[in-house]
């Protein structure tokens, strides 16, 4: 089987019009469908989009290779298109895509077609070949160019996906080894392999590349080759077997760098400019460490692992709580608003349960990112301690990092134990001693200063009570946004609730207005300044409309955690503005919760809404100024 065997002339368009990415996908799916090889076009399209959500298939250099392997495909086929004006396909190098190949692979079938498709990825690394394809005058010419190039590159049809070592050195073994792998193993895996091989050949450095493709690992590195290699490059976005590289110099990076930074990787590997890899035995992931990551990047990656796993709990719990306020009757019992009627009480109860997992999950998955599965239980315990002690988001964040590094330390400590005890380390020793240590550290080291900060904030607010109400509203509004559910936020909220007994209802109004602004400001920013945010953030931003209107400040936490130096100041200024204006307009509120749903019981409701809207817009505009348009991933 050859590449051209998979192309139907009805599936080629040499004049694709300029459009956005989703429209391009629609057109390409239609081209695939023209071949008659799909049994469910919509299911195939969903599979294509799901692959794009993992990482873009815009590989750069003007090429995009969207692909999917699914049961909606009857037999393997290929669609191709050329867009002279280029389409923004979110490519790795930020370039517009002009040349498109959409791959359709059947699920559970013989994988011979995947080996053929890997050749396509390989030959597209040739710049002259790409230019010739784009300048094709007819579909017949387009297909002939592919056939000719395939004959040149793979003349004997032998082990087409196996990238052989380059015999350019006198050694019997390659000087540099590499492993490439991407989540689906169809395109990027083989393009990275080809790029590394070409660069090795150009520099006269012997190299052998193992490809972990969809049809399995090919050109597998042998034990002798690993022992004699100077360095190993692992360019992978999924787990590969790493234990075999224990004690060798290893460069660990993403598969995109194998394509676009091949020269840099080859130079480092040939010089042995890489750390010695020490396998812990706990994972086979290529993501355990990375030579080219800064300390800040590693911390950021651990934090994002916690935030991304926490987000579903925030979203689901927040929406359920919002629905509880929507369906409840405030007049029955204002202090129990949200739980007065059976249905709202049921919804709020489930929402509270979901929200209750937020901090333990945050801490647990930060710890997991640092020290793998044995650290998860330690992180969860640290997170629940932070939740129950009132140290909030900040306490859970600290607990996650402490838990992870506690387990890292325990791994080193217990590495001296007999090998026969390896089996009980992850199920007994790490959880037992880790849980004990995180409990001690949280109780005696973390919680006391956080509690002291909390108490100091309350005392400060009480002392400020005789000052201007506008200043008080400004300060309370700002405090609601500083740590978004943490001790400072809670101090302002408790002060607002306590003011209800004293009959100072304006304070509660300012507090709630300040707490509503952060998620609303972020939601507005993701709507009106889309180029400042990733696609995932833009989607999450929509949920923040509901969060903000429901007085759920925590909806802003994922954005604040991802970019605190820009998001937090913008939210603080917006919230301070809302709190101050609420005081200026004389808004007063008797309910301690409810967000937009209690506006009817606010004195001067129009002024109150104006304060929230103005504060949100101020936060949005400042965030747009602080956050620059995103650069495309290199």
Q: Give Cα 475 to chain centroid, integer Å.
A: 34
| Catalytic entry in 67, 113, 260, 593 | 67
HSE of 408, CA atoms in CB hemisphere, 13 A: 13
Cβ–Cβ contacts within 10 Å for residue 375, how many? 32
The residues that bridge with 92 in the sheet, in sequence order, are: none
Task: Collect all residues with Cβ–Cβ distance below 8 Å to 429 and sequence separation of at least 6.
Answer: 410, 414, 421
What region does 159 belong to: left with phi over 0, alpha with psi -120 to 50, or beta?
A: left
**83: DSSP letter:** E
Q: Answer yes or no: 279 catalytic.
A: no
Residue labelled with tokens 């000052």: 467
Task: Collect all residues with Cβ–Cβ distance below 8 Å to 255 and sequence separation of at least 6.
Answer: 180, 181, 182, 188, 189, 192, 235, 236, 237
Q: Answer yes or no: 67 catalytic.
A: yes
Cβ–Cβ contacts within 10 Å for residue 581, how many? 25
**168: DSSP letter:** -
HSE of 58, CA atoms in CB hemisphere, 13 A: 24
The gap between the terminal CA atoms of the chain, to the nearest Å, is 35
Q: How far apart are the C-alpha atoms of 460 and 215, rounded to whole Å?
A: 65
Q: Residue 519: which H helix or E strand, with range?
A: helix 505-528
**419: DSSP letter:** G
Residue 366 is encoded by which pair of tokens?
Answer: 């930060």
Residues constituting the chain: 634
| Catalytic entry in 182, 188, 302, 593 | 182
Task: Give catalytic residue positions.
Answer: 67, 182
């Amino acid at each position: 089987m050859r590449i051209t065997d998979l192309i139907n002339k009805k599936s080629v368009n040499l004049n694709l019009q300029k459009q956005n990415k989703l429209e391009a996908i629609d057109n390409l799916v239609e081209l695939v469908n023209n071949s008659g090889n799909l049994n469910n076009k919509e299911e195939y399209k969903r599979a294509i989009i799901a692959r794009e959500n993992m990482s873009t298939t815009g590989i750069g250099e003007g090429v995009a290779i969207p692909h999917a392997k699914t049961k909606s495909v009857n037999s393997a086929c290929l669609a191709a298109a050329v867009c002279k004006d280029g389409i923004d396909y979110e490519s790795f190098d930020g370039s517009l895509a002009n040349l498109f190949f959409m791959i359709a692979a059947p699920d559970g079938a013989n994988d011979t077609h995947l080996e053929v498709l890997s050749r396509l990825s390989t030959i597209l690394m040739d710049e002259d070949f790409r230019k010739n394809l784009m300048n094709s005058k007819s579909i017949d010419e387009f297909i002939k160019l592919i056939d000719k190039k395939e004959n040149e590159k793979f003349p004997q049809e032998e082990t087409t996906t196996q990238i052989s070592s380059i015999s350019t050195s006198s050694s019997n073994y390659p000087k540099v080894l590499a492993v490439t792998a991407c989540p689906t193993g169809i395109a990027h895996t083989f393009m990275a392999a080809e790029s590394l091989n070409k660069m090795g050949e150009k520099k006269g450095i012997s190299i052998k590349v193992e490809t972990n493709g969809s049809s399995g690992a090919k050109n597998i590195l042998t034990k002798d080759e690993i022992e004699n290699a100077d360095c190993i490059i692992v360019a992978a976005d999924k787990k590969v077997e790493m234990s075999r590289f224990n004690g060798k110099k290893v460069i660990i990076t993403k598969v995109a760098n194998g394509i676009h930074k091949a020269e840099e990787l080859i130079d480092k590997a040939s010089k042995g400019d890489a750390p010695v890899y020490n396998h812990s035995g706990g994972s086979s992931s290529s993501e355990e460490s990375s030579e080219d990551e800064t300390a800040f990047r590693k911390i950021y990656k651990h934090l994002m692992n916690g935030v991304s796993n926490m987000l579903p709990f925030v979203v689901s719990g927040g929406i359920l709580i919002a629905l509880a306020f929507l369906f409840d009757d405030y007049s029955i019992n204002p202090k129990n608003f949200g739980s007065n009627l059976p249905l709202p009480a049921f919804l709020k109860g489930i929402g509270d349960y979901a929200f209750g997992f937020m901090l333990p999950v945050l801490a647990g998955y930060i710890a997991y990112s640092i020290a793998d599965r044995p650290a998860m239980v330690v992180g969860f315990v640290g997170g629940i301690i932070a939740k129950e002690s009132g140290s909030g988001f900040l306490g859970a964040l600290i607990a996650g990092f402490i838990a992870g590094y506690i387990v890292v330390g325990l791994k080193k400590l217990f590495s001296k134990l007999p090998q026969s005890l390896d089996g009980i380390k992850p199920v007994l020793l790490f959880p037992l001693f880790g849980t004990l240590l995180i409990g001690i550290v949280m109780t005696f080291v973390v919680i006391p200063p956080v509690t002291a900060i909390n108490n100091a904030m309350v005392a400060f607010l009480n002392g400020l009570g005789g000052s201007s109400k506008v200043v008080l509203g400004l300060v309370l509004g700002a405090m609601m946004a500083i740590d978004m559910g943490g001790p400072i936020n809670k101090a302002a909220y408790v002060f607002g609730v306590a003011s209800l007994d004293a009959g100072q209802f304006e304070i509660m109004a300012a507090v709630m207005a300040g707490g509503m602004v952060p998620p609303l400001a972020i939601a507005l920013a993701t709507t009106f300044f889309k180029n400042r945010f990733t696609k995932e953030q833009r989607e999450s931003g929509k949920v923040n409309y509901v969060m903000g209107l429901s007085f759920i400040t925590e909806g802003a936490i994922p954005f604040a955690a991802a970019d605190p130096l820009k998001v937090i100041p913008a939210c603080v200024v917006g919230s301070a503005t809302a709190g101050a204006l609420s005081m200026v307009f004389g808004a007063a509120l008797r309910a301690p919760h409810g967000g937009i749903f209690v506006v009817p019981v606010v004195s001067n409701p129009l002024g109150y809404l104006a304060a929230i809207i103005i504060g949100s817009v101020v936060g949005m505009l400042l965030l747009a100024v602080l956050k620059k348009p995103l650069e495309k991933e290199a």
